[in-house]
Amino acid sequence: MAPVEREAVLVALDVGTNKVVALIGEVARDGTVTVIGKGAVPSAGIKKGVVVNIDQTVNSIAAAREAAERVSGYRIESAIVGIGGNHVESQNSRGAVAVSGPRREVTREDIERATEVARAVTIPSNREVLHVLPRGFVVDGQEGVKDPLGMSAVRLEVETHIVHASATAVQNLTKCVGRAEIKIDELVAASLASADAVLTDTERELGVAVADFGAGTLDLALFMEGSPFHTAVLPLGGNNVTNDIAIGLKTSLAAAEDLKIRVGTADPSGVDKDEQVDVAGIGEGDASSASRYELALIIEARMREVFEKIGEQIEKAGTSGMLPAGLVLTGGAAQLTGAARLGREVLQMPVRVAGPSGVSGLTDHLLTPAYSTALGLLIWGAQTVHGDESRAYESTPGPGVLGRMRDWARGLLP
């Protein structure tokens, strides 16, 4: 079999609350991604997805970069960087233009002009636009057009989904990545990256919510008719569950995290009320035992709140009852036993826990929900390199390879 010709090498950098992940992937001519390098280290200096200590964050990023470089033998110069934190928000906007040119056919320039008009919405000066994603087009009153290029028209309208974030949070993350000697190809909202890793095309078309439940935050994106229409970040994560266990069982955070992973469940109904678990003491305190049923009740209470908050966001977006594909739960904290069952009970919709797919190579331990954002960033970049038109109007390409490729595709470079 002839070797698959390589089109590009991309780097993904996921700077999370609990870990920093750097992945190096080869993109083939057919758009497939092969992981050739990976580095994952505990993060420091990040709280709820936001930089709180520059030096610690820089050290974590540098350690992940060096680990990925050692495995691959590839020198990292630039990366696609995921961004989260509850400062990430979204809104939808429409833009309309008259179709130019003597033949009155929609050109790429017309689409770009309409998108720029939609982008010109009032956003506070302390916010920075991350994405302007075309959701659909209206050509002379005809709705539901996915790609108007070449169509005869007088008026072109575009509906866009705009994702924006705190300018200072973006600047601090950018500063940390730069000080770790990495240029930023593109900043990508973590929820959209995770969606690329775990959602099917059918789910996107039907209507689906994807929730990346990490250690510090929950990144949520709602899709309908193939496109995102609502994104939000909730300040709730797996660490909240751990904190509740530590307080409820009077133990350390490390012991609480171990209990959560080892014997924790969000489904008390499946636990024997007489079952006991060993609980380490705080400091030099004596170890004790506690009811596993009590542990499950603590976890269930917090997880119920998480799903209720997701339900509030679905209600806020005006799509209650309009997401037949339900909720896809991913992220490290999504692996908690009983989470999907509780989600179905609270939200009254299908809920499944999913890990990333669609990549090959050095994927040992990567094809789990904990790495959905990192692998999703690689897939996002591969789709851009491979010419996905829905990515043609991203607003924050950096000076790296993706920015140059996009500018070339739009005719801005020779």
All domains of the chain, ordered by start, with CATH? Answer: 89-166 (3.30.1490.110), 238-300 (3.30.420.40)
Please give the C-alpha separations between residue 318 and each of 193, 224, 295, 323, in angstroms, as whole numbers.
23, 12, 35, 11
In this prediction, residue 391 has a pLDDT band, given cuts at 50, 70 and 90, of low
Instruction: Supply the pLDDT for residue 381.
Output: 93
In this prediction, residue 124 has a pLDDT band, given cuts at 50, 70 and 90, of confident
Instruction: Supply the pLDDT for residue 262.
Output: 93
- Which whole number is the average pLDDT over 216-222? 95
In this prediction, residue 102 has a pLDDT band, given cuts at 50, 70 and 90, of confident
In this prediction, residue 388 has a pLDDT band, given cuts at 50, 70 and 90, of low
Instruction: Supply the pLDDT for residue 406.
Output: 46
Q: Which amino acid is at 358?
A: G
**Residues in the chain, overall count:** 414
In this prediction, residue 284 has a pLDDT band, given cuts at 50, 70 and 90, of low
For residues 184 and 404, the model is more confident at 184
pLDDT digits (tens, 9 = 90+) for 5-59: 557 899 999 999 999 999 999 999 888 999 999 999 999 999 999 999 999 999 9
pLDDT digits (tens, 9 = 90+) for 349-361: 999 999 999 899 9
- Which whole number is the average pLDDT over 130-159? 91
Q: Which of 334-343, 366-375, 391-400 has the lowest mean pLDDT?
A: 391-400
- Average predicted confidence (pLDDT) for the chain: 89
Instruction: Supply the pLDDT for residue 399.
Output: 43
For residues 116 and 391, the model is more confident at 116
Of 398, 372, 408, 401, nearest to 11 by C-alpha is 401
Q: Could you give the CA distance from residue 156 to residue 110 in angstroms, rounded to a whole number? A: 8
In this prediction, residue 222 has a pLDDT band, given cuts at 50, 70 and 90, of very high
- Which whole number is the average pLDDT over 90-104? 88
Instruction: Indicate yes or no: pTM above 0.85.
Output: yes
Say what percent of the chain tops pLDDT 70.
Answer: 91
Q: Residue 82 above 90 pLDDT?
A: yes
Alpha carbon of residue 358 to chain centroid: 16
Do 26 and 38 form a contact (C-beta atoms < 8 A)? no
- Which whole number is the average pLDDT over 250-271? 93
Q: Which amino acid is at 221?
A: A
